[in-house]
Structure formats: C-alpha cells, structure tokens
Amino acid sequence: MSTENNEILYDIAIVGGGIVGAATAFKLQSKHPELTILILEKENLLANHQTGNNSGVIHSGLYYKPGSAKAETCVDGRKQLVKFAQDHNIKHDVCGKIVVATDSSELPFLEKIYENGIANNTEGIEKIDAKRIEEIEPFVRGIAGLWVPCTGIIDYRGATAKMVELTLGIQPKSNLRLNEEVLSFKDDGKKYKIKTSKGKHKARNIIFCAGLQSDRMAKKDNIDLDMKIVGFRGDYYELTEQGKKKVKNLIYPVPNPAFPFLGVHFTRMVDNEVECGPNAVFTFKREGYKKTDFDLKDSLDALTYSGTWNLFRKHWKFAMNEYRRAFSKNLFLKTLQKLIPSLTMEDIKPGRSGVRAMALGIDGNMIEDFKLEYRNRSIHVLNAPSPAATACLSIGDKIVVMAEKHFSLKD
C-alpha cells in the first residue's frame, strides 16, 4: 500500500472492502486496466463483517424468485465464483447439500423451492425420499427432501483478499487503504473530495459497497430512501469432535415461508469444522457480535423507525422464540434435533456470531431483492444480503455496466 498522496485523483473510489466491493474492483480493473481505483475499508482486515462472518456457503439459487436479480446473479455468480476458486487456489468444495422436510406440513413449500430451483436452472436438483436422505446423511431423519449437488463451501475471506490482490496487480496506481473510515465526501462538480479517519482523497466517481452502513452512506449522498438497514445477529454452535461424525456436508431444513430466514442448518466449513445455526435476533449494535453488545446510535436508529416495529408486530412470536433460543443451549439443541435426533448436549459447543444487514421498508417487510442505485457519479449497493457473497462476481458485472453508462467509462 502506498502512502497517502492528496495529489492523486483516482478514477473510482470504492467504499467497503467486503466481497462485493472487492469483486467490483476486480471486475472494473479487469475490464478497464487503465483505471485507477481506490478501495477504502474502515477495518484493519478485508471481509471483516458480513463476508467473513457468514456460513461460508456457495448457494445454488434454490430459494429465490425466478427472474429476480437474486436468482439470476446467484446462479451466474456461483459458476463464476467456483471457476475463480479453481483458477486461484481458493479453498472450496462443491460438496452438495440436502434440504429436509421433517413434517408433512413442510411438503408444499419443499415442492415450491424445488420448482424455484428448476426455474432458476439449479443443476442436478432432485427430489429424494427418507431412505435416500439417510444414504447421504446417515444421522438425519426426514420424510422427504431435495438433493442439491451444486451447493458448496468456500473461504470467502481468502476469495476477497485474492480479488483485491489481483486488482492491485493489474494497475499499480490503484490502492487499498485499510483502517480508513469514510467520514464525509463532497462533490464539487468534477470530483469527490473524500475525508477519512486518516486523511483526504480525491476521486472522480464513487461506488459504495458499505454493507451494514449502506443506508447511512446513501443519506450522506442525499439519496431519498424508502428503507433502512436493521441489524440481525446470528449465533452459531460448533459440533465437537464426536458431534462432527454425525454430519458429512450441508443439511438444511425447509425454510418457514412466513419468516424471512432460512432456518438453523448444519454446515461443514473448508477447515472441516462443522457449524450449526444461525438463529436470527435483533441486535442493538449493527456491528455487534456479542449478545450484550450495545450502541446507542444504532439502537435509536432502529427503534425510532416504524419499519422495525411493523416487523416486530408481524413476527413477534418468531422473535420471542429466537431470543429464547439465543440464551438457551437446550432450546438450540432441540431445534437441531429435528434434523438429527441423536444429537446430544455433548455434541455441540458455543461458536461465533455474524450480523446480517436487513433492508426494511416502512411497512416492516424485508426488501427481498438486491438493490442498486446511482446518483450523478455515485453508485450505491443499498441491499445485498445472502446470496450476495455467492453472487459477488455477477453483481460486479452489473456494477461495471452501470459505471460504464453513468461514469462515462470507455466500453
């Protein structure tokens, strides 16, 4: 990394060093090697929030509405991501997963996500019965399920670092600045003057890939928002050595269509550890990973927003159950036992947590699809929840097209 030089005028500044920001930089630099790109990340590591604390799954495209941006970019992005991992020796494994119905009431929605998978060109998806479930995952008990062979696992932190490394290798004048939080920015009509926690920079254009802070960056850019980011923490348990023997790869429940999360699942990681989770609880700190973390600004921001309370009203029963489970190993275990009845207290131990940026409308409904907007010479990634990490390279392609159009880049 070069030292700060206020005389440098970058072509594009990218705010946010998660995998979407990294993929955007990589795609832009690959197609336009002449561009100088500045990546600004407020943490001392890339991918230190949603990217580095997710479940590490390469998603198949099974759950998303056909024709949506999520569906299209997930399937395309998955294929690009696997090839990227193969080309650059990123730890990954296309190991497949099963989705398991344990009750007859789940069968209609199992059929629905199967139809989604077919419509979204999810390769190799097939319906399986109880016997086949046990052949794939001997300790799992279910009445029906889906086998999804194109789902996988990957080291997202490693993939993010490699994308940035390649970006800087293409154009030596491009730059990565860690530990630099963007405090403000001002457009003088020709360029943006960016003030950070460590100094000042200049760029003709800005792309915001700010994740949990995306709405705040948009407000600073005077964008009229119909949404707000509200943080939800997800807690994981890990399987002990004896517990790991009961899981081969990835095991998912049929998600409850009334609740905007996929449910607690089992995930083998690239380091051969096995996680189970996450739950989903409102967090009083957007970037808080502990149960007791609290930030006054974040709390007021969320709790003075009518969309938060409308969400609570719609899902208060689910919310209560999630909170109870967050503080009870026994309740968490009971949820896990719906899929693996033989699991015991000795098979699980507390693990890490992640935080998800949920974009909520005023009505309390989660904004389902990815949301990208532009204003003058800025582009904002306003909503990029799961499967954004899987879809990152495809999202990067879309941002390149927007940048070529609105930043007057030479195609």
Residue whose entry in the numeric block shows the structure tokens 């650059």: 88
Distances (CA, A) of 169 to 44, 342, 367, 389, 403: 20, 51, 37, 22, 21
Our CA angle for 292, 296, 300, nearest 5°, is 115
Question: Residue 411: pLDDT band by 50, 70, 90 thresholds?
Answer: low
Q: Reply yes or no: is the peptide bond before residue 278 cis, omega within 30 of 0.
A: yes
Question: Residue 152: pLDDT band by 50, 70, 90 thresholds?
Answer: very high
> Is residue 74 one of the residues assigned to a domain?
no
Domain boundary among 131, 149, 167: 149
**Same domain for 118 and 163?**
no
Domain encompassing residue 381: 9-50+157-226+369-406
> Is residue 89 one of the residues assigned to a domain?
no
> Is residue 59 one of the residues assigned to a domain?
no
State the pTM of this model: 0.94
For 184-241, how does the pLDDT look when each residue is reduced to its tens digit (9 = 90+)?
A: 999 998 999 999 999 999 999 999 999 999 999 999 999 999 999 999 999 999 999 9
Residue whose entry in the numeric block shows the structure tokens 């269509």: 257
**Same domain for 15 and 161?**
yes
Q: What CA–CA distance (Å, rounded) separates 259 from 315?
A: 7
> Is residue 105 one of the residues assigned to a domain?
yes
Q: Find how far residue 226's CA is from the centre of its chain.
A: 21
> Is residue 2 one of the residues assigned to a domain?
no
Say which CATH number the domain at 183 has.
3.50.50.60
For 155-169, how does the pLDDT look when each residue is reduced to its tens digit (9 = 90+)?
A: 999 999 999 999 999
Taking residues 10-15, what's their average pLDDT? 98
**Same domain for 134 and 171?**
no
**Same domain for 196 and 342?**
no
> Is residue 70 one of the residues assigned to a domain?
no
Mean pLDDT across the chain = 94
At residue 346, the pLDDT reads 97
Domain count, the chain: 3
Say which CATH number the domain at 345 has.
3.30.9
The answer on pLDDT for 319 being more than 90 is no
Angle at which helix 19-31 crosses helix 388-406, to 10 degrees, equals 40
**Same domain for 245 and 347?**
yes
**Same domain for 242 and 341?**
yes
**Same domain for 251 and 392?**
no
> Is residue 114 one of the residues assigned to a domain?
yes
**Same domain for 207 and 260?**
no
**Same domain for 254 and 302?**
yes
Taking residues 28-53, what's their average pLDDT? 96
For 83-92, how does the pLDDT look when each residue is reduced to its tens digit (9 = 90+)?
A: 999 999 999 9
Enter the tokens of residue 190: 């020709």
**Same domain for 286 and 379?**
no
Enter the tokens of residue 146: 């889906």
**Same domain for 180 and 133?**
no
Q: Tell the burial category of 190 from Cβ atoms under 10 Å away from its Cβ (0-12, 13-18, 19+).
A: exposed
> Is residue 90 one of the residues assigned to a domain?
no
Enter the tokens of residue 70: 């999520």
- Looking at the DSSP bridge assignments, the partners of residue 228 are 360
**Same domain for 25 and 107?**
no
What residue type is 233 in one-letter code? Answer: R
DSSP strand pairing (227-239 vs 281-282)? antiparallel
Q: What CA–CA distance (Å, rounded) separates 133 from 321?
A: 28
At residue 3, the pLDDT reads 41
Q: Tell the burial category of 43 from Cβ atoms under 10 Å away from its Cβ (0-12, 13-18, 19+).
A: middle
Q: What CA–CA distance (Å, rounded) separates 382 from 393?
A: 17
